[in-house]
Structure 1
Amino acid sequence: MSAKAKYARESYTTMTEMVLPNDTNTLNNLMGGRLMYFMDVVSAIAALKHCNRVVVTASVDNISFKEPIPLGSVVTLQAKVTRAFNSSMEVHIEVFAENPVKQTKVKTNSAFFTFVAVDQVGNPINVPELIPETEEEKALYEGALRRRQLRLILAGKMKPEEAGELKALFS
C-alpha cells in the first residue's frame, strides 16, 4: 500500500432527503432530474473525501428509474469510490426510498458517476490509489476497469481494439 492510498470505506457518504411538493412531477413522484441532482451531490462528496481536492463530474453512466419515489418519501443515497485511476475516480451510488409511516424501504436506483480531481485552475491532478477490502468492494473495483474502457469507447476516446479488458465483447 502506497502512502497515498486510501480505503474505499473512507469515501463512504450517506445523504438523506425528503421528497417535498416542489421536488415532484404532476404524478406526485420525485422528478428524475431532482434525483440526478441528489446523486451528483452525494457522489461528488464521496470523490472529494477520497482525494481531498476539488472534483468535477466527468460522466454519468446509465440511470434507470426502476421505482417511482412518491411525495413524502425519505430518500437515502449511499455513495463510495470504487476505483481511482490517474486523475479520475469512479463512484457507485445506491438510492433507497422509504415510507416511514408504512415502514417500507425499496432500492430504486443505482449508477456509476466518474469524477476528475482538478487544481485551482481546473487542470486534472493525480488522486490516491484505492484499496478495496470487502468482497463487494473488490468486485466493484475489478469491474471498474471494464466500465472505464466502455465509457472511453462510447465517448470516442478509445478504439474498441485498444480495450484489453473488453476484447471478448468486440471480437
Structure 2
Amino acid sequence: MNPQARHPSESMVIKSELVLPNDTNTLNNLMGGRLMYLMDVVGAICALRHCSHGVVTASVDNVSFKAPIALGNILTLEAKITRAFHTSMEVHIEVWAEDVLSRVKTKSNEAFFTFVALSADKKPLPIPEVIPETEREKELYAGALRRRQLRLILAGRMKPSEATELKALFENL
C-alpha cells in the first residue's frame, strides 16, 4: 500500500445552503446552472483535500435532475472521492433537497466529476491512491474504472476495443 494513500472519509465534503430567490428560475426552482456550480465547488474541494494540489475539472458525467429543488429548500451536497487514477480522480456528488416545513428530504441529483491535479506550472501530477472502507465506497471504487473507460471512449481518447472493463461486462451475456 502506498503510504500516501487516503480513505474517502478524509476528503469528504458536506455543504448546505438555503435556496434563495436569486438562485431560482421563473418556476421558483433552483436553476440548473447554479446547482452545477455548487456541485463543481464541492467536488473540487474534495479533490483538493485528497491530493493537496490545485485541481481542474476534466469531465462531468450525466447529471440527471430527478426532483426539483424549490425556493426555501435546504440544499445539501455531499462529495466523496471514489477512485484515483494516475493524475485524475473521480468524485461522486449527491444532492439532497429538504423541505424544512414538512421535514421531507429528497435526493434530487447525483453525478460523477473527474478532476486532474496540477502542479504550479500547470503540469498533471500523480495522485494518492484511494482506500475504500465502506461497502458503498467499495462498490463505487469497483465501478470507477468502467465509468472512466466509458468517459475516455466518449471523449475519443480510447478505442472501444481497448476498454477491457467494459468488454468484461458483456462477455458472459
Query: Aligned residue for 2:128?
Result: 128
Once residues 142 and 115 of structure 1 are traced to their aligned partners in structure 2, the CA distance between those partners, rounded to angstroms, is 18
CA contact (8 A) 1:82 1:90 kept: yes
Q: How does 1:73-92 map to 2 (within 5 A)?
A: 73-92=73-92
Q: How does 1:22-101 map to 2 (within 5 A)?
A: 22-101=22-101
Once residues 50 and 159 of structure 1 are traced to their aligned partners in structure 2, the CA distance between those partners, rounded to angstroms, is 30
Query: Aligned residue for 1:142?
Result: 142
Partner of 2:34, secondary structure, is: helix
Which deviates more, 95-104 or 140-149?
95-104
**Which 4+ stretches in 1 moved above 6 angstroms?**
none
Partner of 2:36, secondary structure, is: helix
Residue 168 of structure 1 deviates from its aligned partner by 4.5
Residue 170 of structure 1 deviates from its aligned partner by 7.2
In structure 2, stretches of 5+ residues that fail to align are: none
Query: Aligned residue for 1:4?
Result: 4
Query: Aligned residue for 1:118?
Result: 118
Partner of 2:58, secondary structure, is: strand
RMSD between superposed Cα atoms in Å: 1.1
Aligned identity (percent) is 67
Residue 134 of structure 1 deviates from its aligned partner by 0.7
Once residues 170 and 149 of structure 1 are traced to their aligned partners in structure 2, the CA distance between those partners, rounded to angstroms, is 14
Residue 4 of structure 1 deviates from its aligned partner by 1.0
Partner of 2:67, secondary structure, is: coil
Q: TM (normalized to structure 2)?
A: 0.96
Query: Aligned residue for 1:17?
Result: 17
Once residues 41 and 60 of structure 2 are traced to their aligned partners in structure 1, the CA distance between those partners, rounded to angstroms, is 12
Q: TM (normalized to structure 1)?
A: 0.97
Once residues 24 and 12 of structure 2 are traced to their aligned partners in structure 1, the CA distance between those partners, rounded to angstroms, is 28
When the two structures are aligned, how many residues end up with a matched partner? 171
Partner of 2:120, secondary structure, is: coil
Query: Cα distance 1:161–1:170, how it changes in 2: closer, same or farther (>3 A)?
Result: farther
In structure 1, stretches of 5+ residues that fail to align are: none
Residue 167 of structure 1 deviates from its aligned partner by 1.2
Partner of 1:34, secondary structure, is: helix
